Amino acid sequence: MLSSPRDFAALLERGTIRSHPLLATRVLRTDLGSTRFGLATSKAIGSAVVRNRVRRRLREVLRSMSLELQPGWDVLVIARPGLVAADHRALQETLGRLLRRSGVLGGNDGVHRDRTS
């Protein structure tokens, strides 16, 4: 996970943003051997209990995608108020689509590979 204020500042300054009504992502290519994530949940989403639940849900979806993540990215996931009412499937599809478009998930070819087939 991202934790350094310097890392967050670099993402905000030089990162590329992808947006959706449920969430937004900012991504920045790095030379690290792993992909690091940061989660942003503002008070506009709701109380601390609601924000913590949203962060837990986001971490769970990121864990489920971990095998498909490409190394060498810093990613900031910014939750929007509509995410609170979204179901797990909508969250997973939205985050997957944004990460694929950025090249963080499954390579740069834009093709989704279903592991069940």
Domains of the chain in sequence order: 5-102 (3.30.230.10)
| 88-109 pLDDT, tens digit each | 999 999 999 999 999 898 854 4
| 42-70 pLDDT, tens digit each | 999 999 999 999 999 999 999 999 989 99
3-class secondary structure, 86: coil
SS3 content of the chain, % helix, strand, coil (to 5): 45, 20, 35
Q: How far is CA 89 from CA 8, 60, 84, 93, 116, in A?
A: 28, 12, 13, 6, 16
C-alpha angle 78-97-29 in degrees, rounded to nearest 5: 65
Whole-angstrom distance, CA of residue 61 vs CA of residue 91: 8
pTM listed for this prediction: 0.84
Task: Give me 91's structure tokens.
Answer: 């969250």
